[in-house]
């Protein structure tokens, strides 16, 4: 690697040469927030160039020659690890689907604040890195540790309500139980290549089964704590109302909810009357499994099972398809899909307002024209 420290390296770019690239949808230019055009879904793995981008502040420029990962807090020995040292540790590759906690927000009415993601703030990739548990073992945890705080190098000041108390880093915590899961990684590769800058170069966390805000990018600090973390992104944003004894309390967003989405046909697509049409898409949920996906081609009046493709992999979406015999008369059709998870929970038809603008998994009809 080059010896200078002013961004001398050439990390994997967001858009790679010779890669089929249908384009991303701009939801915000600065900081960069880009949506995967879900209608282009083709395979189980989302190419790096097509993976959605979620950022809260400008991308930090980190030189791997000087970058260090610090592990501090309630540990027996505070340690720092260099990029080269991390990459020399025993590694693991995990496939995991990441979804932004606000994915689907554009489907809420009336219009809500926040990035108006449609359905493409989600993607699936193979991540390679070191299990977080191995790093925590290296530092040694004190017996009273409850949570692990993950902090990125990205930082800034939130000037809209709710305002931040000055400049803050993007940071979230996960429970110690979650942190010790074998598939929770400190990753440096995505689909076999070094992380693109937009996806956390040089190192990010991957927390399978939880919404994407937990998978901190541009990771610099891991902090063990014996007290619940109450940072901005844990208790003010990325938090929802949880009712206990009918008393609503803001609670951190964590596990992904069951969801099935249609890739094709697209909204208002004209499908040929009287001919078969392959309806297809993907379904996913968090720490449970998708056991069934159903489709309705009559706006929810009746439901049929779709065919699930691929094999089941924990924390990974499953592609699905349905051979629809399109009615012979020109008309408008409303197509819906819904997923059921291994706990028997069915994707709802309404959004729970206690979730605020997060965990949006309600079914929404895809209206198409038959002609």
Residue 111 predicted with pLDDT over 80: yes
> Is the pTM for the entire model greater than 0.85?
yes
Cα-Cα end-to-end distance for the chain:
59
Q: Which phi and psi angles does 15 have, rounded to 5°?
A: -105, 120
Instruction: Give residue 302's pLDDT.
Output: 98
Q: How far, in Å, CA of 17 to CA of 282, rounded? A: 27
Shortest CA distance to 200 belongs to which of 90, 312, 67? 67
Q: Which phi and psi angles does 352 have, rounded to 5°?
A: -75, 115
Question: Average pLDDT, stretch 301-327?
Answer: 97
Residue-averaged pLDDT of the chain? 94
DSSP alpha helices (H): ranges in 126-253? 132-139, 176-179, 232-235
Residue 1 predicted with pLDDT over 50: no
Q: How far, in Å, CA of 326 to CA of 116, rounded? A: 32
Tell me the two tokens of residue 134.
Answer: 């191995």
Q: Which residues contact 346 (CB under 8 A, 6 or more apart)?
A: 258, 338, 339, 340
Q: How far, in Å, CA of 361 to CA of 240, rounded? A: 14
Q: How far, in Å, CA of 70 to CA of 316, rounded? A: 30
Q: How far, in Å, CA of 199 to CA of 194, rounded? A: 10
Task: Give the whole-number percent of the chain exceeding pLDDT 70.
Answer: 94
Instruction: Give residue 21's pLDDT.
Output: 61
Residue 31 predicted with pLDDT over 70: yes
Instruction: Give residue 338's pLDDT.
Output: 98
pLDDT band at 16 (very low <50, low <70, confident <90, very high): very low
Where do we find the tokens 């505070």?
A: 78
Question: Using CA of residue 279, residue 107, residue 20, residue 215, what is the dihedral sign?
Answer: negative
- Tens digits of residue pLDDT in 205-246: 999 999 999 999 999 999 999 999 999 999 999 999 999 888
Where do we find the tokens 């925590």?
A: 136
Instruction: Give residue 245's pLDDT.
Output: 87
Instruction: Give residue 17's pLDDT.
Output: 47
Measured in residues, the chain has a length of 371
Where do we find the tokens 């979804």?
A: 99
pLDDT band at 15 (very low <50, low <70, confident <90, very high): very low
Lowest mean pLDDT, pick from 15-29, 119-133, 182-196, 331-345: 15-29
Query: Left, alpha or beta for 15 (phi > 0: left; psi -120 to 50: alpha)?
Result: beta
- Tens digits of residue pLDDT in 321-355: 999 999 999 999 999 999 999 999 999 999 999 99
Residue 4 predicted with pLDDT over 60: no
Residue 2 predicted with pLDDT over 60: no
Question: Average pLDDT, stretch 133-157?
Answer: 98
Q: How far, in Å, CA of 180 to CA of 225, rounded? A: 14
Instruction: Give residue 244's pLDDT.
Output: 87
Local structure of residue 144 (DSSP, 8 states): T
């Amino acid at each position: 690697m080059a010896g200078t420290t002013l961004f001398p390296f050439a990390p994997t770019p967001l858009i790679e040469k010779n890669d089929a690239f249908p384009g991303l949808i701009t939801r915000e230019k600065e900081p960069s927030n880009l949506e995967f055009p879900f209608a282009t879904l083709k395979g189980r793995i989302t190419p790096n160039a097509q993976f959605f981008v979620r950022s809260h502040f400008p991308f930090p420029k980190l030189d791997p020659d000087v970058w260090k990962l610090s592990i501090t807090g309630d540990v027996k020995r505070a340690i720092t690890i260099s990029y080269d040292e991390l990459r020399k540790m025993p590694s693991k590759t995990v496939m995991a689907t990441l979804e932004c906690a606000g994915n689907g927000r554009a489907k809420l009415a009336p219009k809500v604040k926040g990035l108006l993601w449609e359905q493409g703030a989600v993607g699936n990739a193979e991540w390679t890195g070191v299990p977080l548990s191995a790093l925590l073992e290296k530092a040694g945890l004190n017996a009273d540790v409850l949570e692990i705080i993950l902090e990125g190098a990205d930082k800034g000041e939130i000037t809209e309500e709710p305002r931040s108390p000055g400049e803050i880093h993007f940071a979230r915590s996960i429970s110690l139980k979650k942190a010790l899961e074998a598939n929770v990684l400190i990753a440096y590769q995505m689909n076999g290549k070094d992380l693109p800058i937009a996806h956390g170069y040089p190192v990010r966390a991957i927390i399978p089964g939880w919404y994407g805000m937990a998978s901190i990018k541009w990771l610099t600090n891991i902090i063990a704590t014996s007290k619940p973390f109450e940072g901005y992104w844990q208790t003010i944003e990325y938090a929802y109302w949880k009712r206990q004894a009918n008393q609503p309390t803001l609670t951190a967003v964590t596990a992904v909810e069951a969801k099935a989405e249609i890739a094709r046909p697209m909204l208002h697509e004209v499908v040929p009357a009287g001919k078969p049409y392959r309806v297809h898409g993907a379904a996913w949920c968090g720490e449970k499994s998708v056991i069934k996906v159903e489709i309705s081609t009559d706006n929810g009046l009746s439901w049929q099972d779709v065919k699930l493709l691929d094999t089941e992999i924990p924390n990974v979406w499953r592609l699905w398809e349905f051979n629809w015999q399109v009615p012979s008369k020109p008309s408008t059709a409303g197509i819906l899909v819904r997923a059921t998870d291994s706990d028997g929970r069915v994707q709802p038809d309404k959004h729970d307002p206690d979730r605020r603008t997060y965990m949006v998994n309600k079914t929404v009809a895809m209206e198409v024209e038959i002609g």
